[in-house]
């Protein structure tokens, strides 16, 4: 079974704190993604990475950064958390979308910024 594991299910952080969300996959997938999911807006892509040390901005990268030092790990960083970053964060990985393999998602991290 492919596993995508996110470090926390629930997090509560204070405004201005630096927040790290960690994601690990165990299937040697090339691509990894970070999304946020908000009611009525669906999933929106924050950043993705198609290789170690490579990253690409998604649709809403402002206020976020990422790190991919190892193939299996993709971290999302909120440099200075703000209340509008309260959301459900989902990590996903895939071997390659064009090989018609599916993307696997983690269980999600519900982040609340107070």
Count of residues interacting with other proteins (CB under 8 A): 30
CB of 7 to other proteins, least distance (A): 14
∠ CA 102-107-109, nearest 5°, is 125
By the rule CB under 8 A, 5 interacts with other proteins: no
| 104 and 74 Cβ atoms separated by less than 8 Å | no
Distances (CA, A) of 8 to 12, 27, 32, 41, 100: 10, 20, 17, 23, 29
Least distance to other proteins, CB of residue 1, Å: 12
* Nearest distance from C-beta of residue 16 to other proteins, angstroms: 27
42 makes contact with other proteins (CB under 8 A): yes
Contact 76, 21 (CB under 8 A): yes
Instruction: Report in angstroms how near the CB of residue 81 gets to other proteins at its nearest.
Output: 21
- Pick the piece of the chain touching other proteins (CB under 8 A) from 11-19, 41-49, 69-77, 78-86: 41-49
Q: Which member of 26, 97, 112, 114 binds other proteins (CB under 8 A)?
A: 97
Query: Could you say whether residue 33 binds other proteins (CB under 8 A)?
Result: yes
């Amino acid at each position: 079974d492919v596993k995508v594991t996110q470090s926390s299910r629930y997090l509560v952080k204070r405004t201005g704190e630096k927040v790290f969300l960690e994601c690990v996959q165990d299937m040697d997938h090339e691509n990894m993604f970070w999304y946020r999911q908000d009611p009525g807006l669906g999933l929106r892509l924050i950043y993705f990475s198609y290789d170690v040390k490579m990253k690409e901005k998604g649709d809403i990268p402002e206020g976020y950064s990422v790190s991919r030092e190892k193939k299996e790990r993709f971290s999302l960083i909120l440099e200075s958390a703000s209340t509008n970053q309260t959301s459900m964060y989902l990590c996903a990985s895939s071997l390659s979308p064009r090989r018609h393999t599916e993307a696997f998602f983690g269980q999600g991290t519900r982040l609340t910024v107070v």
